[in-house]
Structure 1
Amino acid sequence: MRPDRQPLIRQLFDDYIALYSTRDERLIGRLSTQFSGYASRSDHLVHTRSEWVAAILQDFALVPQHMRIEVLDLCLQDLAEDVVSATALVHVRGPDAGETPAGQVPVARLVLVFRLEGAEWKIVHSGTSVPSGPLPQGSSAAMVRLQNDHRVLQAQLQESSRALAEAQQRIDAMDRTDSLTGLGNRRQFDHVLQQAWERAQRAATPLALVLLEVDALRHFMDRHGHLAGDACLQTLAVTLTQIVQERPGGLVARFAGDAFALLLPGATFDEAHSLAQGAVVAVRSLALPHEGSALGRLSLGGGVAALVPVRDQRADELVRAASSALARARQAGGNQVEPQVD
């Protein structure tokens, strides 16, 4: 080989490595119009420049980050006045390969043939190959496969996580919902009460609670049956929800077997008492027959309490006050609303 040719061939080879490793599309301009070649682990021989251009663009799109190519051995050949070649053994490390031990990175074989076309040297042939069998993570081809697998697994994981979250939400909703009336159950009431109590405590605003109980419900069910009793409770749930929905943040929950809780954030005692009286009148107006009631129709008894929570005061104080008022309404025969005792 003439002494002046070796630096030329080495420069052509180095330029190719630099453009390929930095994913520089100017590499396409170095290809001859009469290009041919083959790609790593491919059984397809590329016959045209356009096929190779498409392969390069796909490669760059799949792995846009810079690669690291380490030349292990290099043979430069001066084949003719206008044809030279470079054959190399290289390690190709992807952007995620890190400090992978050299023994775990496959050796790729790279063959480049350059031809002088006019005043420019063009790549007329390129061939790359790696050992057969599974490729470890260090190589670009393996990295692409791993990235594709990762994307698939990530999509599957996201879908599984979404389905799991939806299932958990349904379980949580069922756990806090009364199956008969569709209202929040006692667990839901306790949860919302604590949140409302803490907000009222911070803002120094009132929080009111109305407890309503069906008068002599057991007698009603003994007379008309459990299915009729269930239908009665469902009707009351709808009626009370319609009354409370006019108040922002209000909650209707099934407090016990025959009792309902109406939680009213921001309501004063007078407002809560008026709402409770309206609920008693509304249920009485339904005119549902009830021989066990003094009125001969379904009625409610209620207890009302309202507090402005202060520091170190607990939410169950509000529940105790309303429960005590409800007990007095029950002892008085029902069909009335009793206030808390100051």
Structure 2
Amino acid sequence: MTMSSARTDRERVIRALFDNYIELYAGRDDRLTLQFSENFSGYTGGGDFLVKDRLVWEKITRQDFSQIPGPIRFEMLDLSLQDISEDVVVVSAFFHIHFPVPEPVFSKEVARLVLIFRLEGSDWKIVHNSYSIPDRLVRNGEVYPMQVLREQNKALETLVAERTQAFRDSEAMYRMLTEDTQDVLWKLDRNFCVTYISPADERLRGFNANEVVGHSVLDLFTQEGVAIVTTIIQQGREAWQSGAMPDFLTFEVPHRCKDGGVLWGEVLSKPERNTQGDIVGYHGITREITERKRLQDQVHQLAFFDPLTKLPNRRLLGDRLSQALAAGKRSACYSALMFLDLDNFKPLNDAHGHVIGDLLLIEVATRITNCVRETDTVARFGGDEFVVLLAELTSDKAQSRAQACLVAEKIRSKLSEVYRLSVVQETAADIFIEHRCTVSIGVTLFVGTEANPKDVLTAADAAMYRAKDAGRNSVWFEASAD
């Protein structure tokens, strides 16, 4: 809902309160007394003091109705509706009063009525009622005033003006804080539908607020982001049921942009609760961290991946091997580790330089990766050495050995195929090289209950050297302690 439409709806509420009052008063309907708040004050048209007792005001109202029992009519001249705050509104009206008598007593005079309504619970109540009628029309003993309460009305107008200005100042401050900040401020209802989002979202993602408000919060995110937020929502529900719901929650999630791009946001979320403690909505702040995320990914890439082949490096291999050992303790399944060393890589480097050598290593990495499962790990150990980890094969040693042998032979055969390497040069002729390269592979089987990372790597390395000694271009098995 836009601010304009919300303001219009609010004006309808205030006008309905006033119209209901006029209908009951003009009809001399005793139900009007039910509209008064327990904390009531008012000036009568014929009184010279402030009434602070609701019962006294009810008595005055009934006296008014008894003096002129027939219906009266109001001829409206001007009407002002003022929205002071969420639970306080003011109506000021100028009008002619037409009584059901031949003598037009007040029909030529301008009377004024000020009503202040306050929301009490779920009902609007009248907390202040003030009539103002010209003092020359005063009659002793009548309900309508002996003296026009101009001073009191002016004081009330000043109070209303001050509160209105304070509200506008507060609203201006709120707009400055929400609309000028680079971070995105948002609110959700209890069903995770967006009820408000600040203009920063349009600057960052390109979506207008009208395209976001009223939609599910999941529409803000990429497919990966939806999975992240869905998990967080489920965890939040479980935490709420157990009474462990945190006051604040911070997480990082990818957002989708209108132009098809993706940005990362750091989200700070807080639940909103009613007086019973039930969650009725959420609000929070989203800060763009795309560049920070990119730098974090770069650091992670440099720390755990080989910059040339993009394969895991020694550090990440060690982590994967430890995970495989832990998984083997639970499942009692064997895993296999292969140590690979290219047999004739150095002559290629010496003859054609490191550029051609790097191209060969990249192609070797690709071929090895294509020979294993997605769940397996292919790592560059250093230079022309590679390691393959086949995690959780089977609990049968012979069957696991056969599977590892099959994969190793597949890799050996694939790496022995001819390599066609080319380098495009701007200042010299392009280079095209055909090269054949074999590999020596050492394999060890291990199970997590009786192995450690160092022993597994040592066993596979020793097996690889046995393959070298056996004539290269071969696969050699060496069992670790199991």
- Scaled to the shorter chain, the TM-score interval is 0.5 to 0.7
> Would you say the 8 A contact 1:220–1:229 is kept in 2?
yes
- The answer to whether the Cα contact below 8 Å between 2:335 and 2:447 also exists between their aligned partners in 1 is yes
- Tell me whether 1:24 sits opposite 2:87 in the alignment: yes
SS at match of 2:311: coil
TM-fit CA distance, 1:143: 7.6
Report the count of equivalent residues: 250
Quick one: distance in 1 between partners of 2:162 and 2:407? 83
- The answer (yes or no) to whether the contact 2:333–2:392 under 8 Å persists in 1 is yes
Distance 2:468 2:152 in 1: 99
Residue pairs, 1:105-184, within 5 angstroms: 111-112=156-157, 126-128=160-162, 141-142=169-170, 145=173, 149=177, 152=181, 154-155=183-184, 158-184=286-312
| Contact preservation (8 Å) 1:208, 1:265 | yes
CA distance in 1, matches of 2:155, 2:51: 19
> Hey, what does 2:442 align to over in structure 1?
303
Letter in 1 for 2:392: G
148 and 190 in structure 1: CA distance in 2 versus 1, 3 angstrom threshold: farther
Corresponding residue for 2:465? 327
* 8 Å CA contact 1:110, 1:128 repeated in 2: no
Q: Secondary structure at the match of 1:164?
A: helix
Equivalent runs, 1:39-50 vs 2, <5 Å: none
Q: Is the 8 A contact 1:283 1:298 kept in 2?
A: yes
Root mean square deviation of aligned Cα: 4.3
C-alpha distance in 1, partners of 2:467/2:351? Answer: 23
Q: Is the 8 A contact 2:84 2:163 kept in 1?
A: no
Q: Distance in 1 between matches of 2:381 and 2:150?
A: 87
Change (3 A) 1:235 1:162: closer
Q: Is the 8 A contact 1:5 1:78 kept in 2?
A: no
**Contact 1:254–1:261 (Cα < 8 Å) also in 2:** yes
Q: 2:375 maps to what in 1?
A: 249
Counterpart in 2 of 1:55? Answer: none
Report if aligned partners of 1:304, 1:339 keep a CA contact under 8 Å in 2: yes
Deviations 1:10-29 (A, max 9, x none): 999xxxxxx956x237x3xx
Residues 1:229 and 2:357 aligned together = yes
Q: What TM-score do you get using the length of structure 1 for normalisation?
A: 0.59
Report the secondary structure of 1:307's partner residue.
Answer: strand
Distance (Å, rounded) in 2 between the aligned partners of 1:84 and 1:194? 87
Cα displacement (A) at 1:32: 3.6
* Deviation (angstroms), 1:153: 5.5
Question: 1:9, 1:84 within 8 Å by CA — same for their partners in 2?
Answer: no
Structure 1 residues 165 and 111: alpha-carbon distance in aligned structure 2, compared to 1, 3 A threshold: farther
Matched, 1:6 2:50: yes
* Residues in 2 aligned to 1:87 and 1:250: alpha-carbon distance in whole angstroms: 85
The CA deviation string for residues 308-332 of structure 1, in whole angstroms up to 9 with x for no partner, is: 1017x42222212111111211222
8 Å CA contact 1:208, 1:307 repeated in 2: yes
Contact 2:84 2:164 in 1 (8 A): no
Distance 1:165 1:288, change over 3 A: closer
Change (3 A) 1:141 1:262: same
- The structural deviation recorded for 1:261 is 1.2
Moved more, 169-178 or 76-85: 76-85
Output one character per residue of 1:262-305: Cα deviation in whole Å (capped at 9) or x when no partner. 1111222321122111111111123679xxxxxx9310000111
Change (3 A) 1:233 1:86: farther
SS of equivalent to 2:289: helix
Partner of 1:270: 402
Specify the SS of the correspondent of 2:445. Answer: strand
- For 2:417 and 2:318, locate their aligned partners in 1 and report how far apart those are by CA, in whole Å: 30
From the superposition, tell whether residues 143 and 162 of structure 1 become closer, same or farther in structure 2 (CA, over 3 Å). farther
- 1:148, 1:203 → 2: CA distance? 59
- What is the rounded CA distance, in whole Å, between the counterparts of 1:110 and 1:258 in structure 2? 90
Q: How far is the alpha carbon of 1:129 from its aligned partner?
A: 6.2
For 1:217 and 1:306, how far apart are their aligned partners in 2? 27
For residue 240 of structure 1, the aligned residue among 340, 347, 368 is 368
Offset of 1:87 from its aligned partner? 6.7
Distance 1:270 1:140 in 2: 79
Task: Give 1:310's aligned amino acid.
Answer: T
Give 2:173's aligned amino acid: R
Do the aligned partners of 2:439 and 2:473 also contact (CA within 8 Å) in 1? Answer: yes
- Could you tell me the percent identity over the aligned residues? 24
2:445 is aligned with 1:317: no
Q: Which runs of 5+ in 2 are unaligned?
A: 1-42, 58-82, 96-118, 120-129, 135-143, 185-199, 201-265, 267-285, 394-399, 422-434
From the superposition, tell whether residues 224 and 332 of structure 1 become closer, same or farther in structure 2 (CA, over 3 Å): farther
Counterparts of 1:254 and 1:271, CA distance in 2: 22
Letter in 1 for 2:414: A
Question: What SS class does the counterpart of residue 261 from structure 1 fall into?
Answer: strand
Tell me the CA shift for residue 338 of structure 1.
0.8
What letter matches 1:112 in structure 2?
E
Structure 1 Cα separation of the partners of residues 291 and 341 of structure 2: 40
